[in-house]
């Protein structure tokens, strides 16, 4: 099926100003930039501000869909026509690096001439760990940040995966307390169900966000994502599942809700199925309709899920549980909590990480096992986050000028120091199991502080797609996430003493050189390791 | 360029549960569903809750990209393989209407067999006006809501277009007060600039949201949208423009900020250009660097835009204006406000509709004309909205059963009456210029209350793409929006007495039949107009 991107030249998949930046940089032979999250995820209630773990996910999609694509002379001509009318005022000619683009189409088979390193998909790290690093050299050095706009969009699947994983923590805790088998119960994977397709801004988002959620759970109605994960990322092995369920149109199309439910039982009553219950009057439906369909439902032997869809989320769940308990009865499990016979409740309205937590607490306090409850999260899962949620940004960190000197670069706005960036060519290495960040010497400028095989930043594109693609199956990515999330402490300062020394050195030079004149890192020809030692010793 | 959608069968671009609904409806020969916004847009500060106008935009993209696509037997086979593993528990077989799909591939050239009506692109209406209406008949009646998931995504471009238009109201007001030429000034179109590409979740979103903003303004850095609007929607006539501008990497790559700006002036100093000023110390840069580049800048004669990017947005703008005034001087315009010579400020950090309003007020109070200020809105423009922002939903409204009786259907959850839906086959007609909603009789059941040529809901797809596509150029859509927005009062109750009569009738029947048993609209064989009269007379 054809899509949006047909005919759009890849050279315009960036911000306007990027097209002019090559002429705004100083003359240089190397530039390095990287992306990082600067804040941990937190709910609206401010819970968990002390948990700065995050899931990194989405580089494969960006590399395969965009960065690995060959540019053609025709693309550049199309872009050229566009840029000739894009400048203000009066739609005049906007600058863009046509000659550089043509050069790599001629000389590099049309592949964008940068090196890209990234953390493995599904990695769990803390804030400030570089997620990817871009290196551009020689005549292409000024194109280093041209792909920033596309790469920065990794914020989205990473943020959804982190939110979904944080919800899983809450559910795991409730399972440990109230469910036989605790967090190892096979029921856990279906407890947070993705209702978010229609609340997405578009189909592409539904795939990216939906797949990110599927890293943690297998419950989803976002078919686009379930399909993509299964067939494009997992060799056909299924990833996401759902159950037959009514919506309001089904309930209201019958002359009575009872008739609608009886038809559901007839068709799907031997398995799992769900019915939305608030088309007219939720309480009345629980009171009158549920007993009326009891016999038919029990006769079929399946599992019925009640879905409230309005009102107070906590109250709606408790009311549903009590009604189902009254009609179908319950047993007390080994942990002392009631498990309703063949029925449960899914709350799919008003769910975010905070209401999810509130419901877990209330259900436990009411004496029910959380295995009787599932959550449907729609816009709250796929469309409640933004780039500021975990403050993602891409920043330049190193430059080698044409005169052979080089400098580590650091943004540090006085008006918001949380927006500082890391200086240098960066590497990530585990110390006692925790990924930590180093500032490594430029090639040829000294011994690497982090050996390539220890560096968690792995090359995923090197001036062209790799001969052996570095991607793993979706199942392997899921396992990495699960293992690494469990193994990391919630909060760690990941800046090594080594990079702190470099930062301190830059700040001292800035202070000596005084306020406003600009970037104060001194030019240098000495080796990086010498520079670091001299800074650390000041 | 290849895209995401290649190889994804269109039959899985919906929610899982949609695939089962055909078996959950009663036996019927016609179903009608529609989509509407149920709430007006409001800022976080709660301003403008009394403005329920909204811009409708985006149906063309959904129809052209998805709904008009031919399905094939191969697509259905691919989907079949997927559905065979999608049911819980244990990845078993999920129900989907394979026979119906195959039938329309065989008998309808693979086109999805529904009729779709929609408001013209760029229409301005109030909440509760149907935005689109889907009609499915005969054996395909139970597929009526299958496309709901895709169609519902119209919430996004419509909501962004509305937000952007509401911002324009604020800017227009400030222009009327403080700018020569008032809201007719040619400068107005560039005052709200789209910085949102990287804050989008994906490229497709950047196109949809970016284009929606371009309905109101021509300032954008979201090239994907500017390109798409120009070449795919406007026959090549330009739509969006920008100016050369630095980012932090440009400022920090030079040894000093002064050197970075001097290079900008050399390259772009004859025209409009922008420099970000907070890489290290915004105040110091304004105080020390600006005077240092004054002569060079003035010598070139162009226009320099200062960009703060952190700190308090209101203070940052005022500080920038005062510094620029001090360095470049200003003139007082005919309205008594200062216009700085060849310089201005763009605030692109922390901008939403509320801070935008605050800045307009503060700038005016400080005695500056708003023509000295522009706004860059990124995540706040393209990624701060969700489906709940204006509460969009698609609901079933009418059914004709196989026995020939028909019913108007209305969801009305007691637990949240703001989620009520409209009953019947709907039509939209202007009364004294304002679009109002009617409930029309089923075909053959009486005279239409709204003649087809008066009905603002126009057919855009009729069991296949129309022979003559109904789409207009982007320029025409822009004009419609501008004219209709200006012509409509901010808030109108758009339910005609006629449809209120129908609603009242349904509620009275519900009350008579008592609480919980379900949808209480009586079956009927009488003509709609008779039914309406009898309800109105009760």
Q: What is the pLDDT of residues B313-323, one digit of tens each?
A: 999 999 999 99
A422-454 as b/e: b if 16+ CB within 10 A: bbbbbbbbeeeebbbbbbbbbeebbebbbeeee
d(CA B138, CA B147): 17
In the predicted structure, residue B477 carries a pLDDT above the cut 80: yes
Dihedral pair phi/psi, residue B350, rounded to 5°: 70, 25
The whole-angstrom distance between B431's CA and the closest CA on chain A is: 30
Looking from the CA of B32 toward its CB, the CA atoms found within 13 Å total 25
Name the residue among A20, A89, A287 with its Cβ closest to that of B244: A20
On the question of pLDDT at A4 being above 70, the answer is no
Give pLDDT, residue A527: 38
User: Which chain A residues are closer than 8 Å to B13 by Cβ?
Assistant: 203, 223-224
* Contacting residues of A for B85, CB less than 8 Å apart: 230, 238, 241
**Residue A217: C-alpha distances to residues A182, A317, B64, B191, B290 (Å):** 16, 21, 33, 44, 54
Subunit contact B258:A517, Cβ cutoff 8 A: yes
Positive or negative: CA dihedral A478, A483, A489, A492: negative
Tokens of A277: 């219950």
Q: How far is A461 from chain B (nearest CA, A)?
A: 19
Mapping DSSP to helix (H, G, I), strand (E, B) and coil, where does residue B373 land?
strand
> Could you report the predicted ipTM of this complex, rounded to two decimals?
0.94
Q: Do A1 and B4 touch (CB under 8 A)?
A: no
Tokens of B117: 């009506």
Between A438 and A50, the higher pLDDT residue: A438
Say whether B5 and A10 touch across the interface (CB within 8 A): no
Contact residues, chain A, for B25 at CB < 8 Å: 249-250, 253
Looking from the CA of A429 toward its CB, the CA atoms found within 13 Å total 17
Q: Residues B125-172: pLDDT tens digits? A: 999 999 999 999 999 999 999 999 999 999 999 999 999 999 999 999
Spell out a b/e string for B496-531, using b for 16 or more CB atoms within 10 Å of the CB, else e.
bebbebbbebbbeebeeeebbbbbbbeeeeeebeeb
- Cβ-nearest to B86 among A241, A253, A280: A241
Tell if the CB–CB gap between B198 and A272 is shorter than 8 Å. no
**Euclidean distance between CA atoms B12 and B19, whole angstroms:** 9
> Does residue B44 surpass a pLDDT of 60?
no
Subunit contact B198:A384, Cβ cutoff 8 A:
no
Q: Mean per-residue pLDDT for A393-416?
A: 93
Q: Do B152 and A258 touch (CB under 8 A)?
A: no
Reduced to 3 states (helix: H, G, I; strand: E, B; else coil), residue B394 is strand
Residues 6+ apart with CB under 8 A from B239: B214, B218, B226, B229, B230, B233, B474
Are the Cβ atoms of A257 and B91 closer than 8 angstroms? no
What is the model's pLDDT at position A44? 57
pLDDT of residue B445: 66
CB contact (8 A) between residue B148 and residue A198: yes
In Å, the largest CA–CA distance within chain A is 86
Chain A residues within 8 A of B258 when measuring between CB atoms: 517-518
Give yes or no for residue B522 having a pLDDT over 50.
Answer: no
End-to-end CA distance of chain B: 62
pLDDT at residue B7, as a whole number: 74
Indicate the pairing of strand B132-137 with strand B115-118: antiparallel
Judge whether B252 and A409 are in contact, CB under 8 Å.
Answer: yes
Contact A5 B8 (CB under 8 A): no
Cα separation, A134 vs A32, in Å, equals 6
Test the B interface: residue of A94, A196, A200, A201 with most B CBs within 10 Å:
A201
User: Are A415 and B308 inside 8 Å of each other by CB?
Assistant: yes
Q: Are B270 and B296 in contact (CB under 8 A)?
A: no
Using a CB-CB cut-off of 8 Å, the residues of chain A touching B257 are 516-519
Reported pTM: 0.95
Q: Which domains does chain A have, with CATH numbers?
A: 10-153+402-537 (3.20.140.10), 159-382 (3.20.20.70)
Task: Select from A85, A415, A421 the Cβ nearest to the Cβ of B310.
Answer: A415
Distance from CA of A449 to the nearest CA of B (A): 24
- Report how far apart, in Å, the C-alpha atoms of B341 and of each of B305, B319, B321 are: 11, 16, 11
User: Nearest-CA residue of chain B relative to A423?
Assistant: B252
Looking at chain B, which residue has its C-alpha nearest residue A201?
A: B156
Q: How many CA atoms lie within 13 A of B90 on its CB side?
A: 3
Q: Which two tokens stand for residue B307?
A: 């960009």
Task: Give A19 to chain B, closest Cα distance, Å.
Answer: 8
Q: Which of A206, A299, A194 is nearest to A240 (CA)?
A: A194
Quick check: B515 and A284 CB within 8 A? Answer: yes
Residue of A nearest to B195 (CA): A15
Nearest CA in chain B to A287: B516
What is the residue-wise DSSP string for A144-208? TTTTHHHHHTTHHHHHHHHHHHHHHHHHHHHHHHHSTTGGG-TTGGGSEEE--TTTSSSHHHHHH
Angle, CA B252 vertex, CA B246 and CA B257 arms, to 5°: 75
Mean pLDDT over residues B488-512, rounded? 90
Question: Could you report the per-residue pLDDT of B210-239, keeping only the tens digit for each?
Answer: 999 999 999 999 999 999 999 999 999 999
A242-251 burial: b if 16+ Cβ within 10 Å, else e: bbbbbbbbbb
CB contact under 8 A, B413 and A33: no
Residue B437 has pLDDT above 50, yes or no: yes
Report the sign of the C-alpha dihedral through residues A159, A164, A169, A170, in that order.
Answer: positive
Nearest Cα of chain A lies from the Cα of B416 at a distance, in angstroms, of 6
Cβ A31 vs Cβ A141: under 8 Å: yes
The answer to whether the CB of A388 falls within 8 A of the CB of A416 is: no
Closest-CA distance of chain A to residue B106, Å: 19
Backbone angles phi, psi at A330, to 5 degrees: -150, 165
Residue B519 has pLDDT above 70, yes or no: no
Alpha-carbon distance A58 to nearest alpha carbon in chain B (angstroms): 11
Residues in chain A with CB shorter than 8 Å from the CB of B254 are 26, 518-519
Question: What pLDDT does A449 receive?
Answer: 87
Q: How many other CB atoms sit within 10 Å of the CB of residue A302?
A: 18
Q: Is the pLDDT of residue B394 over 80?
A: yes
Residues shown for chain A? 538
Tokens of A93: 């000619």
Mean pLDDT of chain A: 92
Q: Are B15 and A197 an interchain contact pair (Cβ–Cβ within 8 Å)?
A: yes
pLDDT of residue A445: 66
| More confident of the two residues B49 and A524 | B49
Q: Is residue A520 over pLDDT 70?
A: no
Average pLDDT of every residue of chain B: 92
Q: Which two tokens stand for residue B349?
A: 């950090």
Q: How far is CA B455 from CA B122, B439, B452, in A?
A: 16, 12, 5
With CB atoms and an 8 Å threshold, state whether B1 touches A4: no
How many other CB atoms are there within 10 angstroms of residue A29's CB atom?
17
From chain B, the residues in CB contact with A97 under 8 A are none
Nearest CA in chain B to A394: B249
B391: left (phi over 0), alpha (psi -120 to 50) or beta: left
B201 and A69 in contact by Cβ < 8 A? Answer: no
Partners of residue A227 in chain B, C-beta under 8 Å:
8-9, 12, 82
Interface size, chain A vs chain B, as Cβ–Cβ contacts under 8 Å: 492
Do the Cβ atoms of B253 and A25 come within 8 Å?
yes
**Is A278 close to B413, i.e. CB distance below 8 A?**
yes
Chain A CB contacts of B192 under 8 Å are none
Q: What was the pLDDT predicted at A45?
A: 54
Alpha carbon of B479: minimum distance to chain A alpha carbons (Å): 19
Residue among A380, A482, A389 at smallest CA distance from A159: A389
CA A426-A432-A437 angle, to 5 degrees, is 15
Average pLDDT over residues B67-94: 96
Which residues are A274's β-sheet partners?
A: A245, A305
Q: B206 falls in which pLDDT band (50, 70, 90)?
A: very high
Test B247 with A28 for CB contact under 8 angstroms: no
Provide the percentage of residues in chain A whose pLDDT is more than 90: 86
**Which residues from chain A sit within 8 angstroms of residue B195, using beta carbons?**
15
Provide the shortest C-alpha distance from residue A411 to chain B (in Å): 5
Residues of B in contact with A33 (CB under 8 A): 249
Residue A524: beta bridge partners? A406
Confidence (pLDDT) at B43: 62
Confidence of residue B3 (pLDDT cuts 50, 70, 90): low
At residue B509 the predicted structure's pLDDT band, cuts being 50, 70 and 90, is confident
Nearest to A519 among B256, B264, B413 (CB): B256
Residues of chain B neighbouring A280 (CB-CB closer than 8 A): 411-414, 510, 515-516, 518-520
Reported residue count of chain B is: 538
Minimal CA separation from A42 to chain B, in Å: 17
* Cβ atoms of A435 and A56 closer than 8 Å: no
Q: Which two tokens stand for residue A514?
A: 């005084």
Q: Are strands A28-37 and A132-137 parallel, antiparallel or unpaired?
A: antiparallel
- pLDDT recorded at residue B441: 80
Q: Which of B490, B377, B384, B422 is nearest to B54 (CA)?
A: B490
Judge whether residue A518 has pLDDT over 60. no
CA distance A120 to chain B (A): 20
Q: Residue B1: pLDDT above 80?
A: no
DSSP conformation letters of A508-520: HHHHHH-STT---
- Whether residue B386 and residue A379 make contact (CB cut-off 8 A), yes or no, is yes
């Amino acid at each position: 099926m054809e899509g949006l991107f047909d005919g759009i030249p890849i050279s315009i998949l960036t911000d306007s100003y990027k097209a002019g930046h090559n002429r705004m940089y100083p003359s240089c032979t190397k530039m390095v930039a990287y992306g990082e999250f600067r804040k941990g995820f937190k709910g609206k209630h401010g819970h968990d501000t002390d948990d700065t773990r995050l899931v990194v996910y989405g580089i494969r999609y960006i590399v395969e869909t965009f960065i690995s694509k060959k540019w053609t002379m025709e693309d550049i001509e199309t872009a050229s026509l566009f840029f000739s009318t894009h400048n203000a005022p009066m739609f005049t000619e906007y600058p863009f690096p046509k000659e550089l683009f043509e050069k790599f189409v001629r000389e590099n088979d049309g592949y964008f001439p940068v090196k890209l390193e990234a953390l493995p998909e599904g990695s769990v790290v803390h804030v400030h760990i570089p997620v990817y690093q871009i290196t551009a050299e020689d005549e292409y050095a000024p194109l280093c940040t041209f792909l920033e706009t596309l790469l920065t969009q990794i914020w989205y699947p990473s943020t959804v995966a982190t939110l979904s994983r944080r919800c899983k923590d809450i559910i795991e805790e409730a399972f440990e307390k109230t469910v036989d088998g605790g967090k190892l119960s096979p029921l856990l994977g279906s407890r947070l169900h993705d209702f978010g397709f229609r609340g997405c801004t578009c189909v592409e988002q539904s795939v990216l966000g939906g797949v990110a959620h599927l890293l943690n759970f297998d419950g989803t109605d976002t078919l686009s994502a379930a399909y993509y994960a299964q067939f494009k990322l997992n060799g056909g092995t299924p990833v996401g599942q759902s159950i037959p369920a009514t919506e309001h149109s089904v309930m209201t199309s019958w002359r009575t809700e009872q008739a609608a439910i009886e038809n559901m039982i007839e068709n799907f009553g031997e398995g799992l199925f769900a019915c939305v219950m608030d088309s007219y009057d939720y309480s009345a439906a629980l009171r009158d309709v549920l007993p009326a369909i009891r016999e038919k439902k029990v006769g079929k032997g399946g599992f019925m899920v009640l879905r409230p869809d309005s009102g107070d989320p906590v109250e709606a769940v408790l009311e549903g549980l009590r009604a189902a308990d009254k009609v179908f009865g319950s047993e007390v499990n080994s942990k002392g909590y009631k498990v309703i016979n063949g029925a449960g409740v899914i709350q799919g309205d008003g769910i975010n990480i905070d209401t999810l937590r509130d419901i877990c607490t209330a259900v436990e306090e009411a004496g029910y096992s959380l295995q009787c409850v599932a959550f449907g999260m729609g816009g709250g899962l796929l469309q409640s986050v933004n780039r500021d949620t975990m403050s993602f940004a891409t920043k330049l960190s190193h430059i080698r000028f044409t005169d052979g000197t080089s400098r580590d670069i650091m943004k540090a706005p006085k008006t918001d120091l949380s927006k500082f960036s890391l200086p240098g060519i960066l590497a990530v290495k585990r110390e006692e199991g925790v990924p930590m960040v180093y500032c490594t010497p430029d090639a040829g400028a000294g011994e690497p502080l982090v050996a390539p095989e220890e560096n968690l930043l792995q090359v995923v594109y090197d001036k062209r797609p790799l001969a052996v693609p570095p991607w793993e199956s979706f199942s392997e990515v899921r396992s990495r996430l699960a293992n690494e999330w469990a193994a990391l402490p919630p909060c760690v300062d990941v800046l090594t003493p080594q990079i702190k020394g470099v930062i301190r050195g830059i700040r001292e030079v800035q202070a000596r050189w005084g306020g406003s004149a600009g970037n104060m890192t001194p030019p240098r020809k000495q080796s990086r390791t010498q520079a670091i030692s001299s800074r650390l010793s000041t």
